[in-house]
Amino acid sequence: MSAHQLPPQQPAPAAGTAKKKDRTHFLYIAVIVAVVLGAILGFVAPEVAIALKPLGTGFIALIKMMIAPIIFCTIVLGVGSIAKAATVGKVGGLALGYFLLMSTFALAIGLVVGNIIQPGEGLNITASEAFEPPEGEGEAGTFDFLLGIIPTTMLSSLTEGNILQTLFIALLVGFALQKMGPAGVPILRGIGYIQALVFKILIMIMWLAPIGAFGAIAAVVGETGMDAIISLATLMIAFYITCILFIVLILGTLLKLVTGINIFRLMRYLAREYLLIVSTSSSEAALPS
């Protein structure tokens, strides 16, 4: 079974409708304005701003609602459309090795920046307060973790919000469809249409991003105030320095060597996703897109 037999994951736009994508620039501007207004409201009227926290919480909940079906459809279509299972294993092994190598670089940069800036200095947190070993750590905890990947039912993996369970079922379904050969093509086509529907719903939700960003930023500023924001500034500066060094030096160099793409062009392309992460204080807001 070859990938060209499958339908496009999202229907191709009709002639003359491509310019509709430009409307997302209004969403980008609206989120920026909402973040600024939310911060101002948090300073001027903290009590009112805190009361708006459900707006941000509700938006994050809507985004989380879409993560499981998006991951399921994407993994099933990706694995199911590959002709040989060995190819999937090879790609998975490379991805795991890449993850371990990049994590090592990220940890090294974080240790260097943390020791130079020392963002936690003055907090007076003892070791016992900072870390408490979780219950069930060790052999029993590992077994419980592995058994927890197996959902109660196939459908519960899409409703309980456990991403590992969703990935597990998606891989099983993808490999099963792969083994079915031509008989699995109609099922893959149906999942492709479901994915198009899921992304259409996601687009509708994303237009609520300004409201969610306004409520989230207003609540954070209203709860913490100026003093707390200043105390957290050092930590945030250290965090962003670490991110910039890792993204530009490590990922940027690797991206340029492998694909020839400039990292700054890619960052500009993902600007809206970065803004959502900052404005909602959660990376899950940008994960589906």
Residue 207 has pLDDT above 80, yes or no: yes
Q: For each of the domains in the chain, give its residue range(s) and CATH number, in order of start.
A: 24-29+68-209+228-277 (1.10.3860.10)
The rounded distance, in Å, linking the Cα atoms of 268 and 245 is 17
pLDDT recorded at residue 126: 53
Distances from the Cα of 233 to the Cαs of 5, 39, 40, 82, 247, in angstroms? Answer: 53, 15, 18, 47, 21
> Do residues 191 and 76 touch, judged by C-beta distance below 8 A?
yes
Give residue 197's pLDDT. 92
Q: How confident is the model at residue 190 (pLDDT cuts 50, 70, 90)?
A: very high
Work out the average pLDDT over 219-233: 70
In the block, tokens 């909602």 appear at 280
Which pLDDT value is given to residue 3?
Answer: 44
Judged by average pLDDT, the poorest of 33-47, 50-64, 115-129, 234-248 is 115-129
- Using one digit for the tens of pLDDT, what is the confidence trace for 61-92? 888 888 888 888 888 888 877 766 566 667 66
* Mean per-residue pLDDT over the chain, rounded: 77
Instruction: Report the pLDDT value the prediction gives residue 282, as an integer from 0 to 100.
Output: 59
